[in-house]
Amino acid sequence: GAGAAADMSVQCALRWCGWQAEDELDAALEHWRWDYDFGEAPARLSLRHNCAEEFTRTDYDESDWVAADPRGFASVARHLAAGVFSEGDPRLLLGTRVTRIERSDRGGVLVVSSDGRVRVAKIVLLTVSVGVLQSSAIRFVPELPLSKLRPLHDLAMGAYTRVYLAFPSKFWPEEQRHILIAHPRRGHYAVVTVMGTEVTRYPPAEAHMLCVTVTGDEARRVDALADDEVTAEVTSLFRDVWGEQPVPAPLSVRVCRWTTDPDFCGAYSVIPPHALQGGFAQLQEPVGPIHFAGEAFHERYSGFLHGAFLSGEDAARRIVAALESAEQRDRAQLMHSPLFKNIGTVKTFTRPGAGGPTAEAPRQLHL
């Protein structure tokens, strides 16, 4: 179709424009521009969706791209939930994993959790990642239709692993925010970000923080390593890069592995070349009473946090409309049901001096 003809991989487009990484430095710069943003190499990225239709860069100022808040990301969720749920609200079930979603023949949905409990709902909104939907973590009964499975499996999940390291002293340049490492293995702990300092339980009282970002296939390799293996690799690399500058052993290391986390199965959605040729409509379409939302489902900002938030608002509007439509349909069906067919004729009369006809109560009601 037209969409397929208009699309190609970012790698193909780069080569057509005269760019091809010829050495380690070229590869490091290419990784910084593409892999670091999207979590995958240019060969796996759709040019149309990830470049021509990349609106976050034009719709938002660069100052909005990164928010470093010491309260942590959970503070955003707590703030949003405060207007809906009270402390200890029994409607909010945390730590509960859904394993089965069944559409009932009589309407509504049965939701089964891993503890065996079954909950019934008129409508369900799913905000799990595309990676979880592609996995066998949640069983759908009956299975989702092909019209939903096809666009879901068109997408991929980017691999984005971050390694946080606390050092007792600095060995990197003060003026640098990001440090790119050119290595024979493309993307090998390629981006180092200076995070500043934090108070730790280790001596000295302040630790100096670095964050190393790994993406794509290299991230998948790192995810399979133990923390001590990752620490050894990063420390060895840093000692090679900084040469005679002493690089101390890190005080502590934290590895964030999104790809191997069964609750996420990846960092965020990625649109490969020639994916979603029919656009986002089928991806966003509910399956009966089952609705979908999340960053992957927002046409303008897929892959981004604000896309997830706005997708949730869109889904909420669709659910409200669906509930109102169902209520009107139920009312209409009730009025046309046999229960009301044999109601006696309603007589009207006009009371002298009254402004209009007044109904007289029916004398007979046949059930």
**Alpha carbons 221 and 223: distance in angstroms, whole number:** 5
| Cα-based distances in Å from 275 to 7, 12, 38, 272 | 9, 16, 15, 6
| Cα-based distances in Å from 191 to 150, 171, 208, 215, 256 | 35, 16, 17, 10, 15
Q: What was the pLDDT predicted at 343?
A: 52
Q: What was the pLDDT predicted at 289?
A: 94
Q: What was the pLDDT predicted at 365?
A: 35
Q: What was the pLDDT predicted at 201?
A: 52
Q: What was the pLDDT predicted at 217?
A: 96
Q: What was the pLDDT predicted at 67?
A: 67
Q: pLDDT tens across 247-291, in order?
A: 999 999 999 999 999 999 999 999 999 999 888 999 999 999 999
Q: What was the pLDDT predicted at 61?
A: 76
Q: pLDDT tens across 212-231, in order?
A: 999 999 999 999 999 999 99
Strands 98-103 and 139-141, how do they pair? parallel
Q: What was the pLDDT predicted at 76?
A: 86
Q: pLDDT tens across 84-113, in order?
A: 888 888 888 888 999 999 998 888 899 999
Strands (E), the chain: 98-103, 109-113, 118-121, 124-126, 139-141, 156-157, 160-167, 178-180, 191-199, 206-215, 252-256, 269-270, 290-292, 348-349, 358-359
**Alpha carbons 112 and 103: distance in angstroms, whole number:** 11
Q: What was the pLDDT predicted at 366?
A: 35
**Alpha carbons 50 and 148: distance in angstroms, whole number:** 22
What are the mean pLDDT values of the chain's consecutive 10-residue runs (367 residues total)? 69 96 96 95 94 85 70 84 87 91 89 94 96 96 96 96 94 88 96 76 70 96 97 97 92 94 95 93 95 96 93 95 84 68 51 51 38
Q: Are 112 and 118 in contact (CB under 8 A)?
A: yes
